[in-house]
Amino acid sequence: MSKTENWQDRELELEIEKVAHGGIFVARHEGRVVFVSHTAPGEKVRAKVFEDKGGSFCRAETIEVLTPSVKRVTHIWKEADRLGAGGAEFGHLALDYQRQLKTDVLEESLSRMAGINQRVQVMAVPGDELTNGLGYRTRIQLHVSEEGVAGPYRERSHDVVPVKSLPLAVAEINELGVHLKNWQDVKRIEISSASTGGIQWFIDKKIKGDKRLTERALGRSFRISSGGFWQVHRGAAELLASEIVELSEGLEVEANNLDLYGGVGLFSGALATKYGKKLNITTVESSKVATSDASANLVDLAKHKAVAAPVEGFLKLQIKQGLELSGATVILDPPRAGAGKQVVDQLSFLKPKKVIYVACDPVSLARDLKTFTASGYRVETIRAFDLFPHTHHFETLVSLVLE
């Protein structure tokens, strides 16, 4: 059979081999790779092809499990299981097994993309085992149908799925009952709940509730203006801040330390709890609102500067002006796409003593690590945490030192 024969809408009987990046699984059929959703390694399933562009692979959806995995459990969200609501693509698997799959993905990404052969276990956030990884999301987004129904999109579509519960959201968001009400002439609803008790939501772009939220981590308070970024998992900020402090061992207080993609200053504030108010550090963030928050949140640090600029533009200017990063520690917390070659090359040129990379995508991370190691940096420590239970996402922290 030709590899280019179109299998669109064809039903296939498949044996699942392994997990792949993106929350999907790998099978092979008649010489082609088939990426299959909502299954698990070792399962035998009947799946229907929903995308085939005629290449060496196609994509399929499980429609019947013929031989279930021993790790398959009752789905944590009925609407995701029965109606296809997006946002819990691993919800049919035991929580500890989800982390093993994420560990597999990280191991393969590091090996294939960066040449780093190391198995790093993805660890649970403390407390998640007691809740089965439910009730952790402090930020959610719902879409609204033409009929006024609020809910998540169905996977791979813009169809809104009506839901009776939001099992991944914190109790404060569920208690609002926004997902149970009718919303005429509305397109999107965003809700944020703070650890200090505040709650904020947007009906399209109209703000309701608190105009600013206050969060706390490592004993410090952080102001977050409307629409500002904060970690989604209720325990993530404290956990990541603690990890940053530990990985920063040896930081030189007087060096030109940088907190790139620094947001409202969480990691700089965390470092101040260890190194004191004389810490010299600059936060760089493209959002002017977040930069203003960072300035207010770190006002007690006499040598802190908050810069509103794209990271690559800031570094280009610093290189031109002869910034000295010898002895400096740089925190790098880029978006899902990663820092990218330009930023990594700029940092490598400036030669900071240590880089602490916080990544939410293992493939982007591995690509950037390859560039760093080719420029003389050595991977010192890698740690990973399951900040997004019942999804394929997780967070990885890497410390690199200049050889």
CA distance 346 to 179: 46
| CB 275, CB 249: distance < 8 Å | no
Q: Which two tokens stand for residue 164?
A: 């009776």
Q: What is the dihedral of CA 399, 237, 393, 148, to 10 degrees?
A: -150
d(CA 124, CA 360): 15
Beta bridge partners of 193: 199
**Quick one: which of 294, 291, 284 has its CA closest to 316?**
284
Cα(287)–Cα(305) distance, rounded to whole angstroms? 15
Structure tokens that stand for 70 in this block: 């021993």
Active site residue ranges? 360
DSSP 8-state secondary structure symbol assigned to residue 333: -
Q: Where do the H-state alpha helices sit in 120-265? A: 128-131, 171-176, 236-247
**CA distances, 352 to each of 43, 140, 346 (Å):** 48, 37, 11
